[in-house]
């Protein structure tokens, strides 16, 4: 995920700033949050496609389906979702394909921890309403849950702003 740190932070920050500049009348109205989310995703997708700064990663799946953001490097699949707050992970819901995406086998405390074929991760993005800073939380779902119940994830960390910071991140497993 090293090649994603700077480009994700740059593209999402730029997209939100551009959205606020171009559509100031919609910027802070709760009735238009859906529009803000879709606009930021569309601008981000376009910029990441144009710049080609994400290494071996490439957009995958169909972005025209409600602005979905998916990426793959042929080892991992990332689904980038908008987070409503900093603590919740959206549950899989009743959609069969989404439930399948959330069904990673649990990690074990023996190598290799990461990069197993077809690992599926959620990248939850959120823009702090006070500071305008974008945050990314990476989680690895391992099952199903409903809103308000315990989230079934076995990996949960904040994506740092730089690849250097990510390369020095230590991860501990419990078990």
Which domain range does residue 93 map to?
2-106+116-167
Give SS3 for 164. Answer: helix
Give SS3 for 94. Answer: coil
pLDDT (tens digit per residue) in 126-174:
998 788 899 999 999 998 877 877 788 888 899 999 989 998 887 665 4
Residue 47 is assigned to a structural domain of this protein? yes
Question: Domain count of the chain?
Answer: 1
Structure tokens belonging to residue 97: 């394909």
Instruction: Give me the sign of the Cα torsion angle 3, 116, 157, 166.
Output: negative
pLDDT (tens digit per residue) in 5-36:
999 999 999 999 999 999 988 877 889 989 99
Residue 25 is assigned to a structural domain of this protein? yes
Alpha-carbon span 24 to 73, nearest angstrom? 36
Q: What local confidence, expressed as pLDDT, does residue 70 receive?
A: 92
């Amino acid at each position: 995920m090293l090649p994603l740190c700077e480009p994700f932070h740059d593209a999402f920050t730029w997209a939100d700033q551009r959205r606020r500049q171009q559509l100031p009348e919609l910027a802070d109205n709760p009735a238009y949050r859906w529009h803000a989310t879709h606009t930021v995703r569309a601008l981000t997708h376009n910029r990441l496609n144009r710049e080609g700064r994400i290494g071996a990663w490439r957009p995958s799946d169909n972005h025209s389906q409600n602005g979905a953001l998916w990426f793959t490097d042929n080892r991992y699949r990332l689904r980038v979702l908008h987070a409503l707050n900093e603590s919740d992970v959206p549950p899989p819901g009743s959609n069969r394909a989404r439930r399948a995406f959330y069904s990673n086998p649990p990690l074990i405390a023996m190598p290799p921890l990461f990069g197993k074929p077809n690992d599926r991760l959620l990248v939850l993005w959120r823009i702090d309403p006070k500071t305008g800073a974008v945050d990314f939380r990476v989680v690895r779902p391992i099952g199903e849950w409903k809103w308000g119940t315990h989230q079934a994830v076995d990996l949960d960390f904040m994506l740092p702003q730089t690849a250097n910071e990510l390369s020095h991140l230590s991860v501990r497993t419990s078990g």
